[in-house]
Amino acid sequence: MNKNQEKLVEKLGIFKSLESLKENQNILYFEKWKIFLSYNSVISINIFNDKIYLNKNNWDYSRITGKYRNIFLEEKKKETERKIKNKEILFFED
């Protein structure tokens, strides 16, 4: 885990595990949420049994980020866009 990831863990509390999907594409699992990181940028936060949040500036940054974001969210981009429109997925800014 790099220093940026360690700082994030300190802020968010109980860390469970790290899943590396590919180099620079990681999922951090916590007790009640999970976070998708692409090149050390937080792309998405999934709070279990509540909401999904996407980084307003980076959620659709590149084809590679999109590919692994879709894996993280377990859906295709069109479904994500529909959920954004319906406010089922919210944005945050870093």
pLDDT in single tens digits along all 94 residues of the chain:
677 767 766 666 678 899 999 999 999 998 888 999 999 899 999 988 789 999 999 999 999 999 999 999 999 999 999 999 999 999 998 7
C-alpha to C-alpha distance for 10 and 55, rounded to whole angstroms = 20
C-alpha to C-alpha distance for 72 and 67, rounded to whole angstroms = 9
Residues in the chain: 94
How many domains does the chain contain in total?
1
- The pLDDT assigned to 64 comes to 94
C-alpha to C-alpha distance for 63 and 87, rounded to whole angstroms = 23
Dig out the tokens for 45 from the structure.
Answer: 């936060």
- The pLDDT assigned to 31 comes to 81
Give residue 64's domain range.
3-92
- The pLDDT assigned to 11 comes to 65
